[in-house]
């Protein structure tokens, strides 16, 4: 029996791709193992320089346990030569080429209980800092028929409690007379599992939010990338919105959903970001009260316009990072505190040391004492919160 090991870096799309590859190999009798695997796969991410370093380090580490290390994913074209010199194989961006043309079978697959359903690939927005359009190419939407077929197959195979709709830019979903809304409405009709959306790109209409709120099993969690709250910087980033549009959109979600989790990404130290620009972002984070904020230092990427500049010195970057961490810690604690003494619906993902761990509908990580063999979605009474988790105990379903 052949053995493989798989390490994933990067976003939810990469996680989805890795799940697909894992599933594909398991279905063909391969076994996951970190002891002398025949092949080690690394699904790479190109978004920051740090991930580049991490991938190279991981490749070296895995060379110690396997003769064959294959790197695939977004970073591959760029690192092809370096990897070759290190005796590591580089596969083209789309991992599907690993599987000798059986792409249909693996493009959509994943595993439960949180099932990553990929609906499109690629982006043509060309934000000035982003390398993704160069490596993932133009947006390609998968046909609804194939998505529904995959969903059907997945339902038969796995116990799915949550479907994570993902893609490089899901707002670009378009296939014949289907747009994202129509696709979600149909998915909702076909499954009782709850549905979570990954990143939503602005701008969109209020009616989009209203119709999303009418989909009965949609999770009240919306990830909208802010990147900066300075309109000057947003313009330099070539983003198609202003801070005012962002704020108005958040207000719509709060109008149609009860205490939704609004999560976001922020880039600090973008070229020519002044202290005043940065302060606008910090104040905005405080004002919006995000449930979670991922922060990234600006990282110049090849081929991108912003990659030609790198104007912010490391000590300023460090200072800005510390300021952001403090404000984020404050606002996210405030959001989490709202759910103490409340009941959350938690998808059970893991059991360790007597505690279950899972994800709530509003994307909080929950640790709880549960009933034996707890699975699916557990009702959890939240007793307290700390920096990482919500802590609680399972209660009986009414």
In this chain, which of 110, 133, 167, 269 binds ligand SF4, going by CB under 6 A? 133
Count, residues near ligand SF4 per rule CB under 6 A? 10
Work out how close the CB of 303 gets to ligand SF4 at its nearest, in angstroms, rounded to a whole number.
12
Query: How many CA atoms within 13 Å lie on the side-chain side of 341?
Result: 2
Phi, psi (deg, nearest 5) at residue 346: -115, 125
In this chain, which of 127, 154, 200, 266 binds ligand SF4, going by CB under 6 A? 127
Binding-site string for ligand SF4 from residue 199 to residue 228, where x marks contact by CB under 6 A and - marks none: --x---------------------------
Judged by CB under 6 A, does residue 128 bind ligand SF4?
no
Phi, psi (deg, nearest 5) at residue 212: -60, -40
Work out how close the CB of 381 gets to ligand SF4 at its nearest, in angstroms, rounded to a whole number.
38
Burial of 242 (0-12, 13-18, 19+ CB in 10 A): middle
Q: Report the DSSP pairing between strands 178-179 and 174-175.
A: antiparallel
Phi, psi (deg, nearest 5) at residue 382: -85, 125
In this chain, which of 13, 76, 150, 169 binds ligand SF4, going by CB under 6 A? 169
Judged by CB under 6 A, does residue 306 bind ligand SF4?
no
d(CA 101, CA 105): 9
In this chain, which of 33, 105, 126, 391 binds ligand SF4, going by CB under 6 A? 126
In this chain, which of 51, 168, 249, 304 binds ligand SF4, going by CB under 6 A? 168
User: Exposure pattern of 284-302 as b/e (b: 16+ CB <10 Å)?
Assistant: bbeebebbbbebbbbbebe
d(CA 54, CA 241): 33
Work out how close the CB of 31 gets to ligand SF4 at its nearest, in angstroms, rounded to a whole number.
35
In this chain, which of 40, 69, 74, 130 binds ligand SF4, going by CB under 6 A? 130
Work out how close the CB of 237 gets to ligand SF4 at its nearest, in angstroms, rounded to a whole number.
8
Q: Report the DSSP pairing between strands 377-385 and 343-352.
A: antiparallel
DSSP assignment, residue 142? P
- Alpha carbon 91 to its chain centroid, in Å, reads 23
Judged by CB under 6 A, does residue 123 bind ligand SF4?
yes
Work out how close the CB of 332 gets to ligand SF4 at its nearest, in angstroms, rounded to a whole number.
23
Q: Which part of the chain contacts ligand SF4 (CB under 6 A), choosing from 67-75, 96-104, 127-135, 369-377?
A: 127-135
Q: In what order do the strands lie in the sheet with 114-121?
A: 140-141, 114-121, 162-167, 194-197
Nearer to ligand SF4, 169 or 385 (CB): 169
126: left (phi over 0), alpha (psi -120 to 50) or beta: left
d(CA 248, CA 65): 52
In this chain, which of 82, 86, 111, 125 binds ligand SF4, going by CB under 6 A? 125
Q: Which part of the chain contacts ligand SF4 (CB under 6 A), choosing from 2-10, 124-132, 243-251, 334-342?
A: 124-132
Residues in the chain, total: 398
Q: Which part of the chain contacts ligand SF4 (CB under 6 A), choosing from 121-129, 144-152, 185-193, 249-257?
A: 121-129
Judged by CB under 6 A, does residue 394 bind ligand SF4?
no
- Alpha carbon 385 to its chain centroid, in Å, reads 23
Positions in 41-80 near ligand SF4 (CB under 6 A) = none
- Interface positions with ligand SF4 (CB under 6 A): 123, 125-127, 130, 132-133, 168-169, 201
């Amino acid at each position: 029996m052949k053995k493989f090991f798989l390490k994933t870096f990067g976003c939810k799309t990469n996680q989805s791709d890795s799940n697909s590859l894992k599933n594909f190999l398991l279905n063909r009798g391969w076994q996951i193992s970190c002891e002398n695997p025949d092949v080690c796969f690394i699904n790479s991410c190109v978004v920051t320089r740090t991930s580049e370093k991490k991938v190279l380090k991981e490749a070296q580490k895995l060379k110690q346990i396997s003769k064959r290390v294959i790197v695939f994913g977004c970073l591959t074209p760029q690192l092809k030569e370096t990897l070759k010199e290190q005796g590591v194989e580089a596969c083209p961006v789309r991992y599907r080429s690993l599987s000798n043309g059986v792409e249909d079978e693996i493009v959509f697959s994943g595993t439960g209980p949180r099932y990553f359903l990929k609906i499109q690939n690629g982006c043509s927005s060309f934000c000035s800092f982003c390398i993704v359009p160069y490596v993932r190419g133009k947006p390609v939407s998968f046909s609804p028929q194939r998505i529904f077929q995959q969903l059907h197959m997945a339902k038969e195979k796995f116990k799915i409690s949550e479907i994570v709709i993902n893609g490089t830019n899901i707002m670009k979903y378009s296939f014949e007379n289907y747009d994202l809304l129509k696709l979600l409405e149909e998915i909702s009709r076909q499954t009782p599992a709850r549905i979570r959306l990954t990143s939503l790109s602005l701008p969109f209409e209020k009616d989009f939010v209203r119709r999303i709120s009418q989909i009965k099993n949609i999770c009240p969690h919306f990830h909208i990338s802010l990147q900066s709250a300075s309109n000057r910087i947003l313009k330099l980033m070539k983003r198609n919105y202003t801070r005012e549009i962002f704020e108005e959109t958040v207000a719509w979600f709060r109008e149609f959903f009860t205490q939704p989790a609004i999560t976001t990404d922020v880039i600090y130290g973008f070229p020519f970001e002044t202290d005043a620009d940065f302060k606008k972002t910090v104040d905005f984070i405080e004002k919006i009260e995000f449930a979670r904020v991922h922060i990234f230092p600006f990282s110049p990427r090849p081929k991108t316009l912003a990659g030609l500049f790198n104007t912010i010195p490391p000590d300023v970057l460090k200072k800005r990072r510390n300021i952001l961490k403090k404000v984020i810690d404050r606002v996210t604690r405030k959001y989490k505190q709202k759910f103490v003494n409340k009941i959350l619906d938690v998808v059970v993902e893991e059991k360790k040391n007597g505690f279950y761990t899972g994800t709530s509908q509003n994307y909080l990580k929950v640790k709880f004492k549960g009933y034996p063999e707890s699975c699916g979605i557990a009702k959890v009474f939240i007793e307290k919160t700390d920096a990482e988790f919500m802590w609680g105990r399972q209660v009986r379903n009414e």
